[in-house]
Amino acid sequence: MDGVWVYVRLFRRSLGLMLDSPLRPWLWIAGPYVIASRIAPVVVAWIGGQALNEFQNAIVAHAFTDRLIAFGAVIVAFTAAASIAGALTNIVKDRIDLDVEMYFEIIEARTMAALDTASRESPAFQDLHENAKRGGVGLVTDMLLQPLQIAGDIAGLATAAALLAQQSILYVLLIIAVSVPFFWTEYRAGRREYDARWRWTPHRRAYFKLLDAIAHTASALELRVLGSIDRVVDDTVRASKDIKAQQVGVRKRGVIENLVASLIVAASVGALALEVVRDCISGAIQLGTGVFLMTSLRQVSGMFASLYREIAQIAQKKRGVEDYFRFLDWKPAITWPRDGWRTEPEAPFEIVFDDVSFRYPGQETFALQNVSCAFRVGERIGVVGKNGSGKSTFIKLLLRVYDPTSGRISINGRDLREADLPDLYRVVSVLSQEVSLYEFTTIGGNVELGAPQPLGPHALQRAIEQSEAVDFIPDLPKGLDTTFGSEFGGVRLSGGQAQRIGIARALYKRPRVLVLDEPTSAIDAISEQIIFDRIMGDDADERLTICISHRFTTLARADRILVFEEGKIIEQGAHDALRSAGGAYQALYEAQTRFLV
């Protein structure tokens, strides 16, 4: 009984989703159309049989009858109506298919946009997302159409049974009996296919990653130069064969079972057809009645098979729709209270890490251990350490990509977990080493994505000047209006140019907290000095600047430097003081400058 209520709940939610979609105007006519499409063939077959009987009578009487003319007119009308309905259906389908597809794409995009990094990195979520992409829209649509199709099959069967029973009820009972194997085979096949799809979802994700590596310009170039692209292609072919073999293996058993069921039905219908032919030859029934019986037997067999298939697939489709709504309902690991505290524009801004430790989900070792530090607006903080020392994890916790495993992070004495996170992000900007530039907009549009809404030409100009992007933007075909990305007929920027656009985007909204992760790794030394003179000079007293860097010319500008090692802050202080201390910072400095003249 619980399964029935789950189905009802999913049906209601699917209906609500569709009533908000472009499909809504057509839902009201879908029911009558589906039912009529099941009844009409049976009625046409019966009318055709009656017309053939009248034609036979007319031959005997050597004269047309009014009934023959009437039956002929009805057949023409039904045929014309069916043709018009079919044409209109195709027109409507072509018109709304794209709208419905885009409607669901937007729903899924909003779901993904609301998710945090921890959820995105979860294998369980990735499997769920993959299955949602593979059939979510179709399954939700099927959830609505399935009851209509079942109702249509029942209406068609009832009509056929009423007409067949005029000859013999045994026809109906025999068709019902021999069609039962279809139900069993479809039910078993549906369960096997659903279970197999979940087992092989990680393999499919790996397969699509291989395809992406070949399709992506940068990775394809690297693989080609390294001479390994053919190996990746071979891996892709091998993965596709493995997935295909899995699908064939699952369906092979179902095909055999379905074949046996089909042979049983075919033999039974064939025996009935022979009996009908014998009755026609003996004169027990008229030719038209015989044609109707043979046609309707085939139709009834098909409708029973369709009905059993729909009923058998209810469980499979229900599970698929449950997965789709689980994807839409996925709860982010990082949440915030509706009435969370908000930042005050002119208030002091102090961030405190109090004995913070963090361990990534599923990991046993700590990425950060017992980190305590504090900094405020107006400070310029440098962060340095070997790879894997905890620098990036420190920044992720600061931005609340993750919450600490233990300890507390606060801003002005208030727990970061209690903050209104979107409001907090209004005053925070971040730039990672791998700058993301977006090909769906222009160079200027990429910079303007640094704020929720465009701030006007003055803010845009100020940002590109601070980032030194003003040096090359005038040389672009359309300046700031130049499209980014050669694949869309735009320009391809160098690594250093892309980083300057990224810096401009980070500075665009004049944040109170600016986080930079190796922001100038692709920029030449002279340009880097100019950029950091501006970042550390212009408006620097109005914001907290935190910069991860391995370049000591950059770190030397910081008021304070945090030195990370194995997830701990082992030293902190100004550049000169840390060098004089002769500790880990000095060792890193000497390692970098050892071969410089």
- Tokens for 12, please give them: 């209601």
Average pLDDT over residues 303-321: 73
53 falls within a domain? yes
Decide if pLDDT at 238 tops 60. yes
Average pLDDT over residues 379-398: 91
Burial letters 304-319, b for 16+ CB under 10 A, else e = bbbbbbbbbbbebbbb
491 falls within a domain? no
243 falls within a domain? yes
User: Mean pLDDT highest for which of 53-62, 321-330, 405-414?
Assistant: 405-414
How far apart are alpha carbons 582 and 576 in whole angstroms?
Answer: 10
DSSP at 166 = T
User: Mean pLDDT highest for which of 49-63, 258-272, 294-308?
Assistant: 294-308
Beta bridge partners of 584: none
pLDDT tier, 366 (very low <50, low <70, confident <90, very high otherwise): very high
pLDDT tier, 136 (very low <50, low <70, confident <90, very high otherwise): low
Angle at the Cα of 464 from the Cα atoms of 459 and 468, rounded to 5 degrees: 150
pLDDT at 255: 65
pLDDT at 186: 65
pLDDT at 8: 73
Q: Is 91 or 489 the better-scoring residue by pLDDT?
A: 489
Angle at the Cα of 304 from the Cα atoms of 303 and 308, rounded to 5 degrees: 115
Decide if pLDDT at 380 tops 80. yes
321 falls within a domain? yes
How far apart are alpha carbons 323 and 327 in whole angstroms?
Answer: 6
pLDDT at 403: 93
How far apart are alpha carbons 134 and 205 in whole angstroms?
Answer: 11
Decide if pLDDT at 497 tops 80. yes
pLDDT at 50: 76
For tokens 């069609």, the residue is: 179
482 falls within a domain? no
Decide if pLDDT at 309 tops 80. no
Q: What one-letter code names the amino acid at 113?
A: A
Decide if pLDDT at 468 tops 80. yes
Range of the domain at 239: 2-328
pLDDT at 55: 73
Here the CATH number for the domain that contains residue 44 is 1.20.1560.10
Percent of the chain whose predicted confidence (pLDDT) is above 90:
16
223 falls within a domain? yes
Task: Report the chain's mean pLDDT, rounded to a whole number.
Answer: 78
Q: Nearest to residue 152, comparing CAs of 36, 230, 248?
A: 36
Count other Cβ atoms within 10 Å, centred on residue 238.
Answer: 12
pLDDT tier, 253 (very low <50, low <70, confident <90, very high otherwise): low
Decide if pLDDT at 370 tops 90. yes
Percent of the chain whose predicted confidence (pLDDT) is above 70:
72
DSSP at 540 = G
User: Mean pLDDT highest for which of 32-36, 81-85, 491-495, 563-567?
Assistant: 563-567
Decide if pLDDT at 406 tops 90. yes
Decide if pLDDT at 5 tops 90. no
| Count of domains for the chain | 1
- Entry field: residues in the chain: 597
Beta bridge partners of 565: 568
444 falls within a domain? no
341 falls within a domain? no
Decide if pLDDT at 60 tops 70. no
From residue 217, alpha-carbon distances to 49, 211, 418, 493 in Å are: 65, 12, 43, 14
How far apart are alpha carbons 439 and 494 in whole angstroms?
Answer: 15
DSSP at 225 = H
Name 43's Cβ contacts closer than 8 Å, sequence gap at least 6. Answer: 78, 159
Decide if pLDDT at 543 tops 90. no
pLDDT tier, 129 (very low <50, low <70, confident <90, very high otherwise): confident
pLDDT tier, 229 (very low <50, low <70, confident <90, very high otherwise): low
How far apart are alpha carbons 501 and 450 in whole angstroms?
Answer: 10
Decide if pLDDT at 455 tops 60. yes
User: Mean pLDDT highest for which of 158-172, 298-312, 380-394?
Assistant: 380-394
Count other Cβ atoms within 10 Å, centred on residue 397.
Answer: 24
Enter the pTM of the model: 0.69
